[in-house]
Structure 1
């Protein structure tokens, strides 16, 4: 019994000792960490406190090593959604504006297309201060009147590229075609840059040089519509057949019209009108009826180059029928070194060279303050359309055209001209007028004849 009591006593003392040890340990922990409470105790912690802890943790994670921190820095930016600012900028402020408004960060402008557009804009920024026209051998603009050429030479290539691009954006609907329209418009005349013309020498073929330059711009060869852009650029001085090419040509023409209008009044600011301007020179006359024509409408050809389809009527706001007839009247039966532009016959008809009608049309347009017609010097199709429109209005409004001598849908007709010495010119093309339209008598005009025109004995329609 005594033994059992002793054992129970020892167990009680042990339990008390263990309890005392637990209390001691708990007190010791609280003394080292006063903020720690019992597991059952609830404690409110302010959000600012958690923020400090989180900030401290971020600081500790980013501090171990400098090189590791640099390696983590870029991925962290991407994950946070931070946008890297666009570093593309250009020297020319107008170019920067165009880029921001039409290219940079634009929806529907793929990365590859944007890369190509930036490449073209960089070239224009660096080299685009050159004139927008060239008159080297073989270039279509070499045939332009000097007055019009000089006015367009005041327009820089960069300005013309922007003008064409803006017109192009007006001609097409916004959408998938927009990037290729901007690229084609900005790049269509890059071949006029002097440095590239020297390096990529070509006889008057700036569209081909433009395509060669585009091919060297990173990303262009990978564009899915590369072929459409190339075709449009190559055909912008020809007769295009597909929608996109037609729109580029129209944009180029509209840009030129507005550029001429902007610079039209500047031609008279020095010493009267430009004395060297070809627009003041009399039109070139041919040596004989067989070589005096520009247009061959019996075969629907223009300057020896065959045209597809008949001409169509276009707007000619500068038109003044009476002024045109008055200008022509002063040239009838005039001979210069055996050459003539217009002659009358006793049958009451007056035969006008197409070249004379075109020269008079340009003069009347200038007199009415609209020089846009001058761009047709470099565009056979546009010139034919303007001439056709003039003839149609002279026919209906002035009753000036001899309807029985010209077929519908044409502005001139082929004739066989016979001379006193037996010479026959079978390839003469004229615009036939009624003599009454000039307010002159047949006898009056016949009395004014001299030289070669007196030797014309017969004019017969060829068709």
Structure 2
């Protein structure tokens, strides 16, 4: 009886195997094929490089930032790499041609960052411990990595939504040829010099100054500025917001001042750090523009401005009208001039003399430039008393014979004494124009 049940069970099992054999065979084929077609494993250079980097005597592992260590030692690593590879043959079994290929790839990848390596060793290295003590070394590394990756971005944003782009409109095409990395490192070097000049213990202020200098234009990187994350197209705001992110979770006593300095570095400020950053930025721009201005000399308006030469440029513009519009006119021994004309003539004078004064190129510095011009004229007693000390202009009410409504304009007033020998010629220019009909000009 048991034998009968055994036979029945065996036949059932054989029947099931026969019915399922096609399915099992197909499954085994697919499994075998999948194993044969498994894609080759690709190991990125970043994962492979520690195999030889950890045996590099110059290499130091700082919180797994081995790419940064390579970055800051890039100025010397290429010279010693061959000898260092020889010392690792007994420890790391990697084919020689594989090492050579990887090293060549690494050299090509970091060929453009040699200036940052030199910069780190020369500028940052002496203060490295202070960065760590102030808990901002990681921020320093982050901003250097950003400059390493995006440093070839132009140092000027060609966009009317960016304040600096408008401010430097007359020279921005030239400055766009200067890379963000080049400009930033120059600003940082100047910033350190200014800190040394202004503080009795400068080393304590270096981390703050260096970080704001390195980060001040980081918002010009297209990936940041156009991302929409920072709710602005103005690079200074994007830069300050990015820097604020770097301070997340940190208790650094000067971080708010640093963020504000980056945000406001294109505006006049009473904050000494912001003003130093602003000055460093301008000095860097001046050095950069020299590259495009052969035979020009760098000089301040305090030294190069000659009032007599400026007035010679003003002379042809007085009482001259074009399509009913004028920029300067005479009335009872006074020349009334639109301030913008004085500003443009001073720039023309500067270029005629082959002088490079970066202050003249910032539209935001116009008021400051005009004040210096008027102060120089005041020294020669050419500014009437009704232009108060410290002011460059004031509002005047102009009444004409043909106009019922009086006209009000903001003008600079200059005594006509330097032109007394040519006053008749100047007055004749009014003939047949609206200027001939002016009756009174009264300060408001």
TM-score by length of 1: 0.65
Alpha-carbon contact 2:168-2:363 (below 8 Å) kept: no
State the number of aligned residues.
330
Partner of 1:452: 434
Q: How many Å apart are 1:404 and its aligned residue?
A: 2.4
Partner of 1:236: 265
Q: Structure 2 matches for 1:378-457, cutoff 5 A?
A: 378-379=363-364, 382-397=365-380, 399=381, 401-419=382-400, 420-426=402-408, 428-449=409-430, 450-457=432-439
Q: What is the distance in 1 between the residues matched to 2:250 and 2:439?
A: 63
Q: Which of 278, 292, 305 does residue 319 from structure 1 map onto?
A: 305
Partner of 1:262: 291
Q: Hey, which bits of structure 1, 4+ residues long, moved more than 6 A?
A: none
Is 1:107 the counterpart of 2:129? The answer is yes
Alpha-carbon contact 1:260-1:372 (below 8 Å) kept: no
Gaps of 5+ in 2: 1-57, 72-109, 197-201
Q: How many Å apart are 1:413 and its aligned residue?
A: 2.3
Is 1:363 the counterpart of 2:348? The answer is yes
Aligned to 1:126, the other structure's residue is in SS state helix
* More moved, 142-151 vs 317-326: 142-151
Q: What is the distance in 2 between the residues matched to 1:332 and 1:440?
A: 15
Cα 1:220–1:124 change in 2 (3 A) is farther
Is 1:341 the counterpart of 2:330? The answer is no
Aligned to 1:172, the other structure's residue is in SS state helix
Higher RCO (CA-CA < 8 Å; seq separation 6+)? 1
TM-score by length of 2: 0.68
Partner of 1:181: 209
Q: Structure 2 matches for 1:150-229, cutoff 5 A?
A: 150-173=173-196, 174-200=202-228, 202-217=231-246, 221-229=250-258
Q: 1 or 2, which has the higher helix percentage?
A: 2
Cα 1:210–1:146 change in 2 (3 A) is closer
Q: What is the distance in 1 between the residues matched to 2:339 and 2:404?
A: 25
Alpha-carbon contact 2:318-2:329 (below 8 Å) kept: yes
Q: What is the distance in 2 between the residues matched to 1:121 and 1:457?
A: 65
Gaps of 5+ in 1: 1-81, 268-313
Q: How many Å apart are 1:243 and its aligned residue?
A: 1.9
Larger-Rg structure = 1
